């Protein structure tokens, strides 16, 4: 709590927004006025009671879709980022600590995967394996863990060459002990900040795929597909399609505020 009290206003606002988004995502079935895919009126109803934000292209309540979109988009982005960090972070730390042939082999595989444009690779894999939620999570996590691997390996290489790690090796400590007790605590702040940034990239990437029709599939609510489905209204000066886009942008800004403060703390500085 002390860290939150001493944080700058931007970081506090970021934390508050993230908590608000999380609360909405967790309580979506309780606070949404209608069902996620329930058709409640004619298409493109204007804002007003009982449809506070109008209806979409199929006559579903926009406020309800926004609320459920928070649960779906944020939940999948969080799961994907966590898997990417578990796989890519572990592999990066292991490559830095072991070195030699293992490091070179893993690095070359990652180089090959990173040479392929991420969006093109994702579209190819989703076209082959389908667009179900498990496949979507697995594909994006696979693509993202290569970036996590490079970051984790880079910061861990510097730590692995330090004297206290060499002393631990000379004492006869095992590889897992060194990774868990010596290297991981030293690189944790950097990885934590990277987790926030990577979550933003995954969050935006999922929304982009949904906008292209290869992300979350109907009738599941998703902010990216909501922008696409209601884009026609922009022609008539209706701002409804901008609501899910604003939700995406606001979440991204909030996370970046928090990540920026974490980076300041990791560098021994305090933002004002």
Q: Is the pLDDT of residue 64 over 90?
A: yes
Instruction: Assign 270 a pLDDT band (cuts: 50, 70, 90).
Output: very low
Q: For residue 174, how far is the Cα from the chain centroid? A: 33
Most confident of 13-17, 192-196, 222-226, 231-235: 13-17
Residue showing tokens 């004002």: 272
Please indicate whether residue 82 or residue 264 has the higher confidence score (pLDDT): 82
pLDDT of residue 51: 87
Interatomic CA distance for residues 115 and 112, integer angstroms: 5
Mean pLDDT of 228-233: 84
pLDDT averaged over every residue in the chain: 85
Mean pLDDT of 97-102: 87
Mean pLDDT of 48-53: 87
Tens digits of per-residue pLDDT, 152-162?
999 998 888 88
- Is the distance from CB of 65 to CB of 221 less than 8 angstroms? yes
pLDDT of residue 240: 86
Percent of the chain with pLDDT over 90: 22
């Amino acid at each position: 709590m002390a860290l939150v009290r001493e944080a700058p206003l931007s970081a506090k606002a970021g934390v508050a927004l993230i908590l608000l988004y999380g609360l909405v995502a967790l309580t979506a079935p309780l606070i949404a006025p209608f069902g996620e895919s329930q058709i409640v009126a004619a298409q493109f109803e204007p804002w007003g009671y009982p449809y506070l934000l109008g209806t979409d292209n199929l006559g579903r309540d926009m406020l309800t879709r926004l609320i459920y979109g928070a649960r779906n988009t944020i939940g999948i982005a969080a799961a994907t980022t966590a898997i990417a960090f578990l796989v890519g972070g572990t592999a990066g730390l292991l490559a830095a600590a072991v070195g030699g042939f293992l490091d070179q082999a893993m690095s070359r595989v990652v180089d090959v995967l990173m040479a392929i444009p991420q969006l093109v690779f994702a579209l190819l894999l989703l076209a082959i394996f389908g667009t179900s939620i498990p496949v979507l999570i697995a594909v994006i996590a696979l693509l993202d863990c290569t970036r996590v691997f490079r970051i984790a390996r880079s910061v861990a290489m510097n730590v692995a060459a330090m004297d206290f790690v060499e002393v631990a090796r000379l004492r006869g400590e095992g590889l897992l002990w060194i990774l868990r007790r010596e290297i991981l605590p030293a690189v944790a702040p950097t990885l934590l900040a990277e987790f926030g940034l990577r979550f933003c990239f995954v969050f935006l990437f999922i929304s982009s795929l949904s906008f292209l029709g290869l992300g979350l599939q109907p009738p599941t609510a998703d902010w990216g597909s909501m922008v696409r489905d209601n884009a026609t209204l922009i022609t008539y000066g209706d701002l409804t399609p901008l609501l899910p886009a604003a939700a995406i942008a606001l979440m991204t800004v909030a996370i970046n505020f928090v990540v920026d403060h974490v980076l300041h703390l990791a560098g021994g500085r305090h933002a004002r």
